[in-house]
């Protein structure tokens, strides 16, 4: 039997987020370009050495990125938005301008990478002719080959997935654009083959979605072209995030290997393998180690799984189910958690150890007893009854009683209008204000014990007071307390809810240099004590303006956490909803009667298969209503969503029955406006009028254009004016100046509306 141990992709950020710090030093001009590139190279080399030491035989090359792997591919093939084409082609300045914007031009749109919490930059094809600007994979391949004697496996986003994820062309032009890309890919592949590459991984995760026969015919055409030009090269067509449709046709494509996800496929890939077999002239790259989970594998079970797969083919590549980009680097630094808990975890490095151990046992280099020894900790962890909560289980059994709708919206709106007396086009923010170096330093001092709880609380109160004053000076209509006590909108709640654990260094990349530390759901979830009450009530005491309470919703907490592997998603979701409901009741009881329950991750959790979506969306709506449905008519429930193709889920958004929803819209304003041309949305809404993910400060004309465009399809009495997301990543100066422009723009548009002027 031919066995190869492989990795699909490795985390970029480093054990201690070294990658993130280098990026931010370069952007702030604290280091030169030469220093930046040399230090990044050191990280890249370290990652390759680590994977080799862990027993990986096919080590990915090109998964390392300065920002985003989709952006890397787009730039390599000259897919440069027209507004950035005057800059030096494929330069670092152009690359980061596309990602972050400039004073003159907005950044490219950013959206979710399939159903993960990773964000990619959307390639723009309008007025662009694809061309090979440089073969970055060749440079990286030669680096590994000559400096480390590693013959790596170059990794690239495949042409059909790349084009499917792009914008700026008509659907009917898809088949005309693909032929422009094929020769560019062939040139890249030929140069890699000539340099000594033995395998090239071509990622086509689009195959995990519902693809039609026309798309399958296009796959046949594209990969036949590759095979004709490169008959001796081993191409590995890699899929992940679910099962593939058209199994027989995909596995017959003229490639040397097919990568399938045997973890998140709901058993479909295995079912098709049993039914149709597998070509004997190909390698089956079997993704049996979960690349998105942080739990150890029961390798006894995985061994039986691989044994069955080996009965269908003698050529196996053992690997994670997808890139390890979605998990932290290593558990080695987790010293503050119970050892029993840590022993049940496996991050990226530990997962590669699992790949190697599984491969070695199958090759008979290790005895099966090693699998039993390794799996003992996760088996025992699952037996631990302390993770169960009888009262929570009782509440779950009766949860349907709470899943009832509120009074009809129009009735609530009349009550809320009378209570709040807000102006037309009320202005507000999404929740967070800048997490400055001072905020982070004081939080760290508190964690280390060098700052007392009383001193830290005073510091937080001072920050709240400062930003309440700033909001008064800017002239916002509805205030927030700023969330200075929170590291992250999900981690914060993970630290305070029973049944969740938070790591020390379990960071993963979200977008660019933005990293998050997802909490781990370890048992039944329940409310412990008020989580947001103290800071919100204090902020409210400082102003006569409405103060929003800020919570994260159950769907987002679940989607941005690492889930249990021994409970259903619906169970975890409803447990979270019950806990958030208690917190909302606490806030309302203490006079906080505007409460924002953010659900930015609702769309990203949408299953890739259409047949699974209805159940997911139904469960999401039910959980939101359980959480928010117990308030008075005059209590205004807000929510926030971002990075979504809203047209797909607008009916679900309406069904949430929130009084006000704010939507990230600045980078994709036109697309979202089209949704509201189709759907008569009657509740209040704020479409973000400027992009907070870029450091540039937009001018009044840009904001006014976004605002007035929205008012063409939305009524003035339902529209709110806000940024597109929270402001924690921006500097105080950027935040204040942008909000001043936003408020002034809203006031001027209000004046034109009062005067009956339309523009």
Q: Which domains does the chain have, with CATH numbers?
A: 408-754 (3.20.20.210)
Question: Any binding-site annotation on 640?
Answer: yes
Answer for the pair 84, 98: CB distance below 8 angstroms, yes or no: yes
What pLDDT score was predicted for residue 663? 86
Question: Any binding-site annotation on 167?
Answer: no
Fill in the DSSP letter of residue 610.
G
What pLDDT score was predicted for residue 643? 57
pLDDT, one tens digit per residue, over 66-92 is 999 999 999 999 999 999 999 998 899
Question: Any binding-site annotation on 17?
Answer: yes
pLDDT of 756 higher than 80: no
Question: Any binding-site annotation on 432?
Answer: yes
Q: What is the CA radius of gyration of the chain?
A: 26
pLDDT of 292 higher than 80: yes
What is the rounded average pLDDT of the residues 447-471? 96
Q: How far apart are CA 39 and CA 61, in angstroms?
A: 17
Answer for the pair 272, 247: CB distance below 8 angstroms, yes or no: yes
Question: Any binding-site annotation on 642?
Answer: yes
DSSP string, 174-240: HHHHHHHHHHHHHHHHHHHHHHT--EEEEE-GGGGS---HHHHHHHHHHHHHHHHH-TTSEEEEE--
Active site residues: 693
What pLDDT score was predicted for residue 579? 97
Give the confidence band of 677 by pLDDT, cuts at 50, 70, 90: confident
Among 243, 169, 96, 214, smallest CA distance to 694 is for 96
What DSSP element (H or E) covers 315?
Answer: strand 315-320
What pLDDT score was predicted for residue 758? 45
Give the confidence band of 675 by pLDDT, cuts at 50, 70, 90: confident
The residue written with tokens 């993704």 in the block is 287
Fill in the DSSP letter of residue 122.
P
What pLDDT score was predicted for residue 366? 84
pLDDT, one tens digit per residue, over 629-672 is 999 999 999 999 875 567 778 899 999 999 999 988 655 555 67
What pLDDT score was predicted for residue 574? 97
pLDDT of 125 higher than 70: yes
What pLDDT score was predicted for residue 667? 55
Widest distance between CA atoms in the chain: 83
Answer for the pair 100, 659: CB distance below 8 angstroms, yes or no: no
What percent of the chain is predicted at pLDDT more than 70? 98
What pLDDT score was predicted for residue 53? 98
Which two tokens mark 36? 């930046």
pLDDT of 547 higher than 80: yes
Strand order through the sheet with 60-61: 2-5, 315-320, 283-289, 257-261, 234-238, 199-203, 153-157, 60-61
pLDDT of 301 higher than 70: yes
Q: b/e per residue, 529-563, with b = 16+ CB within 10 A? A: ebbbbebbbbbbebeebbbbbbbbbbbbbbbbbbb
Q: How far apart are CA 290 and CA 288, in angstroms?
A: 6
């Amino acid at each position: 039997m031919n066995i190869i141990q492989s990795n699909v992709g490795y985390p970029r950020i480093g054990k201690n987020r070294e990658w993130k710090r280098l990026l931010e030093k370069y952007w702030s001009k604290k280091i030169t370009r030469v220093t930046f590139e040399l230090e990044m190279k050191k990280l890249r080399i370290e990652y390759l050495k680590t994977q080799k030491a862990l027993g990986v035989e096919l080590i990915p090359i090109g998964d390392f990125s300065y920002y985003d792997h989709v952006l890397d591919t787009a730039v390599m093939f000259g897919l440069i938005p027209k507004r950035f084409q005057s800059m030096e082609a494929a330069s670092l300045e152009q690359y980061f301008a596309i990602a972050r914007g400039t004073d003159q031009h907005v950044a490219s749109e950013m959206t979710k990478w399939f159903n993960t919490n990773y964000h990619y930059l959307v390639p723009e094809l309008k007025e662009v002719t694809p061309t090979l600007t440089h073969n970055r994979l060749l440079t990286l391949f030669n680096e590994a080959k000559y400096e480390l004697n590693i013959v790596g496996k170059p990794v690239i986003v495949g042409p059909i997935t790349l084009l499917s994820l792009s914008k700026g062309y008509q659907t009917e032009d898809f088949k005309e654009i693909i032929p422009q890309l094929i020769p560019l890919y062939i040139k890249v592949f030929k140069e890699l083959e000539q340099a000594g590459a033995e395998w090239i991984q071509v990622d086509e995760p689009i195959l995990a979605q519902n693809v039609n026969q026309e798309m399958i015919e296009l796959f046949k055409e594209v990969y036949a072209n590759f095979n004709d030009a490169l008959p001796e090269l081993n191409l590995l067509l890699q899929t992940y995030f679910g099962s593939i449709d058209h199994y027989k046709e995909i596995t017959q494509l003229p490639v040397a290997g097919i990568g399938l996800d045997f973890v998140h496929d709901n058993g479909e890939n295995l079912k098709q393998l049993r039914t149709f077999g597998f070509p004997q002239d190909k390698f089956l790259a079997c993704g049996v180690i979960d690349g998105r989970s942080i739990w150890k594998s029961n390798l006894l079970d995985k061994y039986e799984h691989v044994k069955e797969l080996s009965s269908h083919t003698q050529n196996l590549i053992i690997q994670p189910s997808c890139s390890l980009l979605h998990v932290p680097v290593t558990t080695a630094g987790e010293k503050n958690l119970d050892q029993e808990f840590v022993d049940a975890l496996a991050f990226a490095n530990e997962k590669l150890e699992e790949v190697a151990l599984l491969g070695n046992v199958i090759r008979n280099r290790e005895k099966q007893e090693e699998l039993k020894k390794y799996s003992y900790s996760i088996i025992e962890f699952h037996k631990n009854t302390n993770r169960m909560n009888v009262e929570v289980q009782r509440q779950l059994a009766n949860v349907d009683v709470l899943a009832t709708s509120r009074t009809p919206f129009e009735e609530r709106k009349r009550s809320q209008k009378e209570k709040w007396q807000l102006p037309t086009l009320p202005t507000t923010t999404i929740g967070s204000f800048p997490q400055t170096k001072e905020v982070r330093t004081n939080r760290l001092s508190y964690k280390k014990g060098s700052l007392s709880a009383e001193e830290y609380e005073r510091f937080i109160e001072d920050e709240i007071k400062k930003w309440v004053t700033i909001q008064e000076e800017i002239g916002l209509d509805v205030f927030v307390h700023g969330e200075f006590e929170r590291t992250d909108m999900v981690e914060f709640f993970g630290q305070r809810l029973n049944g969740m654990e938070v790591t020390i260094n379990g960071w993963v990349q979200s977008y660019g240099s933005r990293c998050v530390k997802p909490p781990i759901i370890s048992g039944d979830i329940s409310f412990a004590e008020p989580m947001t009450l103290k800071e919100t009530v204090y902020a409210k005491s400082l102003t006569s303006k409405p103060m929003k309470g800020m919570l994260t919703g159950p769907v987002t907490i679940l989607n941005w956490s690492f889930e249990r592997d021994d409970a259903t998603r619906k169970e975890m979701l409803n447990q979270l909803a019950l806990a958030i409901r208690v917190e909302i009741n606490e806030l309302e009881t203490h006079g906080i009667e505007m409460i924002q329950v953010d659900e930015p991750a609702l769309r990203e959790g949408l299953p890739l298969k259409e047949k699974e979506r209805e159940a997911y969306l139904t469960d999401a709506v039910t959980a939101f209503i359980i959480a928010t449905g117990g308030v008075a008519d005059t209590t205004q429930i807000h929510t926030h969503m971002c990075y979504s193709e809203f047209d797909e889920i607008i009916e679900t958004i309406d069904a949430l029955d929130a009084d006000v929803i704010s939507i990230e819209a600045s980078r994709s304003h036109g697309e979202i406006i089209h949704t509201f041309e189709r759907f008569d949305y009657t509740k209040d809404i704020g479409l973000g009028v400027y992009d907070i993910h870029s450091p540039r400060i937009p001018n009044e004309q840009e904001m006014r254009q976004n605002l007035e465009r929205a008012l063409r399809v939305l009524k003035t009495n339902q529209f709110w004016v806000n940024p597109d997301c929270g402001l924690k990543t921006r500097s105080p100066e950027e935040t204040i100046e942008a909000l001043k422009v936003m408020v002034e723009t809203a006031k001027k548009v209000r004046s034109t509306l009062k005067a009956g002027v339309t523009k």
